[in-house]
Structure 1
């Protein structure tokens, strides 16, 4: 079994949701990179009893390393170091060298606040120089030092602000105390397959079948996640289980070849960016409020191929800005495939582009009809030198869900059309 670790994120502001926890997931990724098995992430408020309970729980789970974040400041609610010292059976002592380092940092900061009594500030920050006896000290990145107390488990105490925690973590990883704590780590490999157009229930059935077919299936740690309408299948395994993973991949391809769009974890956004090389794209959006254009422009280097976009809700805007025939709208309705195609053609002309993507739909919460309920969205992708793909889908969820899923659908239709321009076989259903 690999070395095991636990994470304790402290802070009432995090516990109550006022501040989003960024440290727990970040540390979890770093532990994974080291080959350390993460047992638990806990979040607790700034209460000594709760912090101590979290430490006892993780120790009871057999962890070799506990990493804490937060609670290292000079105020009364910052008490992580004191609790850790008591948990580890160490006396809390003043480190004179550390106190001078903190004082030097405070002097540099004092220049910004000329009306502050430096002696009072130094007295308040002396608390930050109190450390468990025998602890290894990590120099401050801000004003708060980190500490590491070796033992079973070893406890690494890091500050809360990510800009301080992250560089301090990289220092801690090189220290003998942490290396000894994770000496039993195991090297893992991690691979990700991404799918689109498959419900989780369909994947679950395939995985049950694979479990019965593949020898050593239990050596694979498989997690699935539905994100923005896509399925992510992440598999972690030891290197000698690579043949087992290869068998799993074979089963997934056999059952879901059409739905798999990435076997290396690459995003559809990155694939679209590569396919758009040398092209010029424009967008025309109604229900998605410019989110397709935003997603395209969020891709690094997108300024080289995104020509522009139009967000048009009113029928008059569709006619005036995208040259959509008013009679076409009257005949088929604003939410219709003919109008989506006309919007794409209008965007192509307006921005002198060779690629266009258009969306028009009903995101809600009102405005739907029996024939076109809320969630009805029409998409059209038009290539001047290739195919036109037009689809109508009924997407679940509230306004935000429909918009988010619509942008994902648009990206996948765009990917498929661009692939079809190179290989018509990619357009086959």
Structure 2
């Protein structure tokens, strides 16, 4: 039996894009791991009518609904009351929860040295402790308790799990939420749902689509989705255990059709592949970057354990910085221009020398929106990698705005390092 779950993310700040939704995708992945098929994620602002409409819409054809946000002490935090109304459970002060929240708030204020009007603090605490009658209360991770609210007697519908908006609080509360009896009863009927990810670099979407069409009549029972993200293609497949043989058909087709561009079949990112390869060889890496302004260094060091192989990065934006910090000859810049394969090569060598690294990366380009010329239009980027086993170089002509050009450049640089580490060198 398929168990369907829906998610409602609340908050005008999320709806308008001021805050990126980190809860909806995370909840979808957690629910999938528990066997629930997430049918829809709905984002609504802090308006009770919109929240009620979203809840009723999802509750009509889902077995479980999860909300995030709207549990704070301010007037616009109305999720608990609205969920209670929809489930036919009026809200009232829960004395035990009030005592817990009050103790949390008092301790938080003491630790941070805050002072506030006692009446205002008490009003906020009472609001957070006012919950639908008969709801299962989840202990707060921050100051807001969570809830599992089932329909009142005589009503039909799924349980609604009410979680706080801050991602750290929501994730900390999740184990208690799925352990609640009403949630456990729903998920007990969920079949296992597995996920497989294959990543490619350098394959066109049209070629991938043709490959999938070739075997589509043998993929019954697989939910295959493809996504172009940051220049990489991801093929994500969700499937039940009894469809594992069909998954092997899919993976076999991808490896047969794209043996040089499939770089991950176990969910690893290019960051993981590069990091593991550097550690395996005992090599170190350093970067010299211009148009990316430090983004490559940030990406290299974002991975846990990167101190084992990353020595550093220089954001040499000005030509004088390229010369002073990396030893790029001023005459080379004058002859070929700062955005050139020659300068990218010199920057890669300069990074190796400056840090004493085994592998050096050089990046220079025109990220835009200004600065382009007919010879070097916006989106022109040169990447060079130098290492003990040889070199690699690539010229990119990237579409999009400044942010997109810089982001794809960083990913492309990592793939050039990956290819060099795999023995694919050009000199």
Per-residue CA distance 1:233-285 (angstroms, 9 max, x = gap): 11010001001010001111111111100000101111111222222322222
> What is the TM-score with the length of structure 1 in the denominator?
0.90
Instruction: Please name the residue that 2:341 is paired with.
Output: 337
- 2:64 touches 2:160 (CA, 8 Å); kept in 1? yes
- 2:285 touches 2:312 (CA, 8 Å); kept in 1? yes
Per-residue CA distance 1:186-232 (angstroms, 9 max, x = gap): 101101001001122221222122214x2xx1311111222211111
The whole-number CA distance in structure 2 between the counterparts of 1:275 and 1:341 is 22
Instruction: Please name the residue that 2:276 is paired with.
Output: 274
Instruction: Please name the residue that 1:65 is paired with.
Output: 64
Cα distance, 1:129 vs. partner? 3.0
Per-residue CA distance 1:11-60 (angstroms, 9 max, x = gap): 22222223322222221121111111111111112222111111110022
Aligned with 1:46: secondary structure?
coil
Q: Which runs of 5+ in 1 are unaligned?
A: 421-425
- 2:367 touches 2:402 (CA, 8 Å); kept in 1? yes
- 1:3 touches 1:183 (CA, 8 Å); kept in 2? no
- 1:106 touches 1:122 (CA, 8 Å); kept in 2? no
Q: Confirm or deny that 1:391 pairs with 2:390.
A: no
Instruction: Please name the residue that 2:311 is paired with.
Output: 307
Instruction: Please name the residue that 1:50 is paired with.
Output: 50
Per-residue CA distance 1:299-330 (angstroms, 9 max, x = gap): 32222333333333444443343333444334
The whole-number CA distance in structure 2 between the counterparts of 1:338 and 1:407 is 19
- 1:22 touches 1:162 (CA, 8 Å); kept in 2? yes
Aligned with 2:220: secondary structure?
helix
Q: Confirm or deny that 1:165 pairs with 2:170.
A: yes
Instruction: Please name the residue that 2:216 is paired with.
Output: 211
Instruction: Please name the residue that 2:154 is paired with.
Output: none
Cα distance, 1:332 vs. partner? 3.1
The whole-number CA distance in structure 1 between the counterparts of 2:172 and 2:22 is 14
Against the structure 1 CA distance between its residues 400 and 81, is the aligned structure 2 distance closer, same or farther, given a 3 Å change threshold? Answer: closer
- 1:379 touches 1:392 (CA, 8 Å); kept in 2? yes
1:355 to 356, 359, 365: 359
Greater shift in the superposed pair: 48-57 or 329-338: 329-338
Aligned with 2:342: secondary structure?
helix
- 2:148 touches 2:180 (CA, 8 Å); kept in 1? no
Against the structure 1 CA distance between its residues 250 and 137, is the aligned structure 2 distance closer, same or farther, given a 3 Å change threshold? Answer: same
Cα distance, 1:178 vs. partner? 0.7
Q: Which runs of 5+ in 2 are unaligned?
A: 152-156
List aligned pairs for 1:361-372, cutoff 5 A: 361-372=365-376
- 2:389 touches 2:425 (CA, 8 Å); kept in 1? no
Against the structure 1 CA distance between its residues 380 and 17, is the aligned structure 2 distance closer, same or farther, given a 3 Å change threshold? Answer: closer
Cα distance, 1:413 vs. partner? 0.9
1:408 to 381, 406, 411: 411
Per-residue CA distance 1:101-148 (angstroms, 9 max, x = gap): 333334434546675453553344323333322222222233322221
> What is the TM-score with the length of structure 2 in the denominator?
0.90
The whole-number CA distance in structure 1 between the counterparts of 2:309 and 2:100 is 51
- 2:286 touches 2:351 (CA, 8 Å); kept in 1? yes
Q: Confirm or deny that 1:156 pairs with 2:161.
A: yes
- 1:225 touches 1:231 (CA, 8 Å); kept in 2? yes
- 2:332 touches 2:342 (CA, 8 Å); kept in 1? yes
Instruction: Please name the residue that 1:226 is paired with.
Output: 228
The whole-number CA distance in structure 2 between the counterparts of 1:117 and 1:368 is 57
Tell me the matched-pair count: 418
1:199 to 204, 217, 234: 204
Against the structure 1 CA distance between its residues 282 and 160, is the aligned structure 2 distance closer, same or farther, given a 3 Å change threshold? Answer: closer
Cα distance, 1:288 vs. partner? 2.2
2:182 to 177, 181, 184: 177
